[in-house]
Structure 1
Amino acid sequence: LDEDAEERLKTLAAEGGRVVAIGETGLDYYRSTTPEEIQQHAFRRQIRLASGLNLPLIIHSREAGNDILQILKEEGVPAAGAVMHCFSGGTEFAKKVLDMGCYLGIAGQITFKNGEEAREVARFAPLDRLLIETDAPYLAPAPFRGRRNEPAYIVRTAERLAELRGLPLSQVAEATKENACKVFMLV
Structure 2
Amino acid sequence: MNFIDTHCHLLLKQFDDDRQEMLKKANEELDLLIEIGINVESSKSVVDFVKDEEKIFGAVGIHPTESQDLKETDLDKIKELAGKPKIVAIGEIGLDFYWETNKQDQYKSLDAQLDIAEEMGLPVVFHIRDAYEEAYNFLQKKGLPARKGVVHCFSSDWEMAEKFLDLGLYLGFDGPITYPKNNKLREVVEKTPVERILPETDSPFLPPVPYRGKRNNPTYVKYVYEKISEIKGIDVETLKEITKSNAEKFFFNKG
TM-score range, shorter chain: over 0.9
| Cα distance in structure 1, aligned partners of 2:111 and 2:79 | 16
* Deviation of 1:13 (Å): 2.0
TM-score (norm 1): 0.95
Instruction: Identify the residue that residue 97 of structure 2 maps to in structure 1.
Output: 29
Instruction: Identify the residue that residue 8 of structure 1 maps to in structure 2.
Output: 77
**RMSD (CA atoms):** 1.1
* Deviation of 1:186 (Å): 6.4
Tell me how many residue pairs correspond in the alignment.
Answer: 185
Instruction: Identify the residue that residue 147 of structure 1 maps to in structure 2.
Output: 214
Instruction: Identify the residue that residue 38 of structure 1 maps to in structure 2.
Output: 105
* Deviation of 1:15 (Å): 2.7
* Deviation of 1:67 (Å): 1.1
1:61 alignment partner, SS class: strand
| Cα distance in structure 2, aligned partners of 1:6 and 1:77 | 18
1 or 2 for the larger relative contact order (CA 8 Å, sep ≥6)?
Answer: 2
* Deviation of 1:173 (Å): 1.2
Larger strand fraction of residues: 2
* Deviation of 1:171 (Å): 1.0
1:20 alignment partner, SS class: strand
The match for 1:127 among 183, 194, 204 is 194
- Structure 1: gaps (5+ residues): none
Aligned residue type for 1:4: T
Instruction: Identify the residue that residue 162 of structure 2 maps to in structure 1.
Output: 95
Task: Say if 1:48 and 1:75, in contact at 8 Å, map to a contact too.
Answer: no
| Cα distance in structure 2, aligned partners of 1:2 and 1:150 | 33
| Cα distance in structure 1, aligned partners of 2:189 and 2:170 | 12
* 1:138 equivalent in alignment to 2:205: yes
The match for 1:115 among 178, 182, 186 is 182
* 1:163 equivalent in alignment to 2:230: yes
The match for 2:142 among 52, 75, 79 is 75
- Structure 2: gaps (5+ residues): 1-69
